[in-house]
Amino acid sequence: MNDLNQQFKLRYCFRTFRESRSFCNVRHGVLCVRFSDQEFYFVFEGIPPGHSQTSLMLGYLNGSCGIFGMEEQRLHFRSQIHLNDQLSNSLAHYLIEEIQSASSEDLHSLENLAATLWKYLWKKHCNFLLAKSNRPLGISPFKFKRLRTFIQENLDAEISTNCMAEIAGLSPFHFIRMFKRSTGLTPHQFVSHMRMEHAKDLLKQTELPIIEICLQTGFNSPSHFSRTFKRNYGLTPLRFRQEAPV
């Protein structure tokens, strides 16, 4: 085991209610997998380096990688841009497929796959925290909240950098620099991610035709929408909808 693995004591728990079976094994890290009638999620739990008392739960819920936390004794989830890419989402989908169909003899391969995803998410998050600590201050939280709200309310329209800069009260050149300090992404990359996350929500939660979802997320071309979605998540919109939990 490498140094990353040695930071954790982790228990793998794989459960499927469909077959009423469960099995677990003790390794480094923690993975809990849960199914219900309406959702599927799994959580990797560990202690970030330098935070001996704070447990961090990175995981995957219904199509998105992010951070789990407890709020008023209830588990809540926030999708994180830096954890969602083609590899993380492809690994998560593949793990879901394997957990749902594997036999007890496949436990070792499931553990290896889960460990691969866990270490990938953990590495990305640690690198994100390191980069964030080294970045100068960017846009204030108040202005960033206004920007995020504006983007969410206009995902079906063109969102220009100039318009966002005006909301932030900055010149376009200064805005791009400050925005990247805050998020690690350019404004265009951030808006594209929010469009894709909204598309995933619509694919999972509605029966809208894919062409309608394409338009509601600001794409004029279904082929461009499909290519962008697959580049981000490793699946076409149609396949994502077919494989999403029901």
DSSP 58-101: EEEETTEEEEEEEETTEEEEEE-GGG-SHHHHHHHHHHHHHHHH
- Please give the average per-residue pLDDT across 74-88, as a whole number: 81
Rounded-to-integer distance, Cα 199 and Cα 218, Å = 10
- Please give the average per-residue pLDDT across 111-125, as a whole number: 82
Percent of the chain with pLDDT over 70: 69
Asked whether the predicted pLDDT for residue 189 surpasses 70, the reply is yes
Name the pTM for this structure: 0.67
Q: Which residue has the higher pLDDT, 244 or 25?
A: 244
- Please give the average per-residue pLDDT across 188-211, as a whole number: 92
| pLDDT tens-digit readout, 26-46 | 343 445 555 444 345 566 666
To the nearest whole number, what is the mean pLDDT of the chain?
76
Contacts for 154 with CB less than 8 Å, ≥ 6 apart: none
Asked whether the predicted pLDDT for residue 16 surpasses 60, the reply is no
Taking the domains of the chain in order of start, what are their residue ranges? 5-134, 141-243
Poorest-pLDDT segment among 17-26, 30-39, 66-75? 17-26
pLDDT given at position 207: 92
- What is the distance, to the nearest Å, from the Cα of residue 99 to the centroid of all Cα atoms in its chain? 19
pLDDT given at position 38: 39
Asked whether the predicted pLDDT for residue 80 surpasses 80, the reply is yes
Identify the CATH number of the domain defined by range 141-243: 1.10.10.60
Poorest-pLDDT segment among 6-20, 38-52, 200-214? 6-20
> SS3 for 7?
helix
Rounded-to-integer distance, Cα 163 and Cα 160, Å = 5
Asked whether the predicted pLDDT for residue 21 surpasses 50, the reply is no
Poorest-pLDDT segment among 24-38, 100-114, 158-172? 24-38
CA atoms within 13 A on the CB side of 235: 22
Asked whether the predicted pLDDT for residue 57 surpasses 90, the reply is no
CB atoms inside a 10 Å sphere around CB 43: 19
pLDDT given at position 227: 93
Q: Which residue has the higher pLDDT, 69 or 192?
A: 192
Q: Which residue has the higher pLDDT, 202 or 53?
A: 202
pLDDT given at position 29: 44
